[in-house]
Chains A and B, each alone.
Chain A
Amino acid sequence: MASSSAISRAEILSLYRSLLRTARQFCDYNIREYTKRRIIDAFCENRNLSDPSTIYAAFSDVFICEFPSGMVNSMLDSINYEGKAVSFSYVLE
């Protein structure tokens, strides 16, 4: 990994905040609580990483971060709406 693609603290914090914001929107109580807790625990566990390649690996390991945030909202809405998941995944192709 070239050092120019090193991930800044601001990026990590912004990912953390946007993940938590997304997690708060789940309608189902269990999924919402689990997602919030897991995000917090995962970031706390990784807070002492110093090697840039492991930091990069941890940063990209998040499953939501590949989606532009607009898509995440429509995905959540569609899952929340009583399981009537719609073909939002066409967007990912």
Chain B
Amino acid sequence: MASKLLASAFRRTLARTTNTCAYRGISTAAAAVVAPSREPFEDQGVVTVKGVKISARPLYLDMQATSPVDPRVLDAMLPYYLARFGNPHSRTHLYGWESDSAVEIARTQVADLIGASPKEIVFTSGATESNNISIKGVMKFYKEKKRHVITTQTEHKCVLDSCRHLQQEGFDVTYLPVGNDGIVDLEKLRSAIRPDTGLVSVMAVNNEIGVIQPLEEIGKICKEFNVPFHTDAAQALGKIPIDVEKWNVSLMSLSGHKIYGPKGVGALYMRRRPRIRVEPQMNGGGQERGIRSGTVPTPLVVGMGAACELAKKEMEYDDKRITALQERLLNGIKAKLDGVVVNGSLERRYAGNLNLSFAYVEGESLLMGLKDVAVSSGSACTSASLEPSYVLRALGVDEDMAHTSIRFGIGRFTTEAEIDRAIELTVQQVEKLREMSPLYEMVKEGIDIKQIQWAQH
């Protein structure tokens, strides 16, 4: 076939250029920011970005921000970009029909992972959009009777911002405090529910500290008071077993790029029995049952479906591995350093998220020193600002400890060698900073930092 010849000719041209692959171990996007004077044959892999020289691409330990696309998922998506590129809403030709059937298959794959029926899944552009539809859509639909929303202080920014928007429109919002371990208090939730409560929103797995909330119990309370229960399961999908019947959720937000799928796609689970109604936030041609108009992006949706199917098969294997890697990381760091605090409960926690605070170390300088490891302090949404994360503040962590928190995210593709190297680099950096720190000297002499009366200059 002509295309086979094309493929083999391409392979021949690639064989000539593939030997530079080892030197150019960076993506084309990163190439744009690299200084053009880099010699390809000396300094293999040295990258200078923003004035900082790093020896190679950093180790990626930030799986909560986003995750790489699994090659199997990419392979499922590619035909829908190249050959089967039809609009799934075109009902008159093969291109439309095959795209539509692919979208329906993906819907079934997503539904299987959470224990729902495919008719209850609506595809959106991400968990942020799903959260917006759930919170604003539900409250605006029931705005005559229900004026109260309950959420927690550790929710994702999009949930808190949607609630703030509702507050500006005249709704009441209760932000439940969390305990020191990050878990919401069920008695406080029970006492906060009023007759006009329209929605309870508690996220399943926190993106910053990784704690798993007691969703079954919250679901029982909501069922008792007949209040719709929304959960943001973006970080939980594919990582902990989800069952919408057991949890009694009415709405669930799902995200594609946290489970090794493509970015730009997410889903919203909306229960049909009893039916929960929302006011659509995107108006248009009535696609996705009128809840979210707009062309459904077939390749992204197929990718998300493939990622969900993979996650279902690999959940046990990944979970075992990631738990072992987390223990290795934690024990490795604790063995060499003292003054290391894990933020959030260690028992009720997703293993792939490890949020550590190092005492007597300044956070910004620690992050600047850890340039060979891609980690984050706080979530990606709040890392641009200089304030410590609101999640850690809600946990009751002291200001100085909140500033030095680092979040290590371990995923399917992380190796033992990467963990060992991360331990080495972190320990090295923390020791270097502590050596320079006068506060640490005072602590070693036995002075209690909190009792010091600082004189004003």
Contacts and interface: CB of A to CB of B under 8 A. Distances in A.
Interface stretch (B14-22, B152-160, B224-232): B14-22
Nearest to B28: A82
Interface of B: 1, 3-4, 6-8, 10-11, 14-15, 17-18, 21-22, 24-28, 31, 60, 68, 71-72, 74-75, 78-79, 82-83, 317, 412-415
A86 B79 contact: no
A70 B10 contact: no
Contacts of B79: 89, 92
Main secondary structure of the interface of B (DSSP, over half): helix
Nearest to B412: A34
Contacts of A88: 7, 10
Contacts of B4: 70, 91
A89 B3 CA distance: 9
30 contacts: A26-B71, A27-B22, A29-B415, A30-B413, A31-B68, A33-B413, A33-B415, A34-B415, A35-B71, A38-B317, A41-B317, A63-B72, A74-B8, A75-B75, A77-B10, A77-B15, A78-B10, A78-B14, A79-B71, A79-B74, A81-B17, A81-B21, A82-B31, A83-B28, A85-B74, A87-B82, A89-B82, A90-B82, A90-B83, A92-B79
A27 B25 contact: yes
Contacts, number: 81
B27 A82 contact: yes
A29 B68 CA distance: 12
Interface in A31-45: 31, 33-35, 38, 41
Contact of A30 (B6, B31, B60): B60
A81 B27 contact: no
Interface of A: 26-27, 29-31, 33-35, 38, 41, 63, 70-71, 73-75, 77-93
B54 to A, nearest CB: 15
B455 to A, nearest CB: 52
Nearest to B22: A27
A77 B11 contact: yes
A30 B414 contact: yes
A75 B7 CA distance: 9
Contact of B8 (A26, A30, A70, A79): A70
